[in-house]
Structure 1
Amino acid sequence: MIKLLPKSSKLIGRLPKGCRYCEKGAKLVLLVTGLCSRRCFYCPLSKRKKGKNLVFADEKKVKNDSEIIDEARLIDALGTGITGGDPMFVPEKTLRYIKLLKENFGKSHHIHLYTAGNFEKKWINKLDDFGLDEIRFHPPVYSWDKMKNTSCEKLIKKSLNTDMDVGVEIPAMPGYENKIIVLAKHLDSLGVDFLNLNELEFSETNYNALNKMGFTVKKDISSAVKGSEKTAINVMKKTDVNMSLHYCSSSFKDAVQLRNRIM
């Protein structure tokens, strides 16, 4: 049964722990690099960050570790979401930040990490050893319906043998419903904990690519792509799996996460 969450987000199963902290506005967003090995046409990362080896704590460009800790304390962060680019494009740097956060805020400071899943398997055990709580893989769109024996699948399998929660997070792409269903069923067979489906959004960097594919905004005052929410709902209705399925709307990110973070 689909459970309704604030701002049109939806859930089957249990909300991933990292998402629970985000819902409260209790997560620091730490972008450790704008670099990435993938070239996803829908990537929304801004020109300010994309392709640049910079660090941002929330939307503040930081020059040293103390500025990261200060920002986390300022917002009373109970956890951190490490993002990019791809944090695993710079694995040593990412491990250092995990260690920094755990040393300053303790083991209970929940850290989740997003990755394109294009790195050596040896780093999985290191992430686990350094205390990463949750890892979210973002497989390339061309592999969604043929994940078997891919490098990303191998990393997912290895992660499932650690103490980390393991999930996959992708955009709910209109026209890709069947591919997403195939992906969800395969992930469930592996024992993955959750699949997050994000509402696809236009940005300054992906507008041309999405426009060429015929995508349009669903409302004049929204950057969300028309049909993305419907795609996610259809996937949730048609997919019978044990793992959690979570649809996160663009309005939820804008209204709930940010508002709760600044209150």
Structure 2
Amino acid sequence: MSIQLHVASLPDLVEPPSSEDTEGCLQCQQGSKMVLFVTGRCHWRCDYCPLSENRREIEYIYANERRCDPDDWEAVLEEAHAMNATGTGITGGDPMMDRERTLESIRQLKREFGSQHHIHMYTSIPFQPPQATALADAGLDEIRFHLLDLELEPYLEIMEACEQAGMKTGVELPCEPDQEERLLALLEELRDAPITFLNLNELEITVGNLDNMELRGFNISNELTAGAEG
């Protein structure tokens, strides 16, 4: 009797961290950054959003996987201490949908760990320029814009304001297999944008976006990752 073993296909090896990566990326790759989910509120305009239903529209905070009551900063800081966090990545939902809580989270972390605690934040909202100063004054080090519909123009003013306020400003996007032409055009537009870095991520297929991804004809690329094929 013969036995056949099925071995999962291996993805290409990921390159090690580079000195050209942003500080936020370097710390994430080292596993030393806490992930702070400040709100489940969002505009829900991205059909590829990977967020699960149990995180959408919630008011709880998650410090890594630890659920914290709203504004329970003691629990958040305790989690950061437990993992010896060198920094924090603030996400959601969209953190700018609860701006005051986001600002307070930045203040609390900087007060506890000092200016060396690196904080970056994701948002897809082209918010008003004066708010950039408030974020910088609170202590935000780095901001990453997710461009809705791959449109750059609505974000140019706030990008410039963030750079002027002293925050490292960049763009972070998933690579949608059916948007290659538009994405390549956007990359050319970004050459003249007031940003200092660009992160392109593999589009992930998750429980939260599976139905929408199937409607667009996307399949998982291999058996070891959640990346979309293409």
Normalized against structure 1, the TM-score is what?
0.78
Other-structure match for 1:175: 178
Other-structure match for 2:146: 138
Other-structure match for 2:46: 40
Residue by residue over 1:45-82, the C-alpha shift from the partner in whole angstroms, topping out at 9 and shown as x without a partner, is 11111122221000111121111011101110000000
Residue 147 of structure 1 aligns with an amino acid whose one-letter code is: L
**How far apart in 2 are the matches of 1:55 and 1:7?**
34
Tell me the CA shift for residue 184 of structure 1.
Answer: 2.0
Residue 54 of structure 2 aligns with an amino acid whose one-letter code is: R
Tell me the CA shift for residue 7 of structure 1.
Answer: 3.9
Q: Which moved more, 1:184-193 or 1:28-37?
A: 184-193
Q: 2:128 matched to 1:120?
A: yes
Tell me the CA shift for residue 10 of structure 1.
Answer: 8.1
**How far apart in 1 are the matches of 2:18 and 2:74?**
39
Any unmatched runs of 5+ in structure 1? 1-5, 228-263
User: 2:159 touches 2:169 (CA, 8 Å); kept in 1?
Assistant: yes
Tell me the CA shift for residue 122 of structure 1.
Answer: 1.9
Structure 1 residues 96 and 85, CA, compared in 2 at 3 Å: closer, same or farther?
Answer: same
Other-structure match for 1:202: 205
SS in 1 for 2:52: coil
Identity, % of aligned positions: 36
Residue 137 of structure 1 aligns with an amino acid whose one-letter code is: F
SS in 2 for 1:176: helix
Output aligned runs, 1:1-263, within 5 Å.
7-9=13-15, 14-63=20-69, 64-140=72-148, 142=149, 144=150, 146-148=151-153, 150=154, 152-227=155-230
Tell me the CA shift for residue 16 of structure 1.
Answer: 1.3
**How far apart in 2 are the matches of 1:182 and 1:70?**
45
- Measured on the aligned residues, the alpha-carbon RMSD in Å equals 1.8
Residue 172 of structure 2 aligns with an amino acid whose one-letter code is: E
User: 2:106 touches 2:119 (CA, 8 Å); kept in 1?
Assistant: yes
Residue 168 of structure 2 aligns with an amino acid whose one-letter code is: D
Normalized against structure 2, the TM-score is what?
0.89
Q: How many residues align?
A: 217
SS in 1 for 2:75: helix
Structure 1 residues 7 and 105, CA, compared in 2 at 3 Å: closer, same or farther?
Answer: farther
The structure showing larger relative contact order (alpha-carbon pairs under 8 Å, at least 6 residues apart) is 1
**How far apart in 2 are the matches of 1:162 and 1:182?**
28
SS in 1 for 2:53: coil
- The structure that has the greater radius of gyration is 2
SS in 2 for 1:93: helix
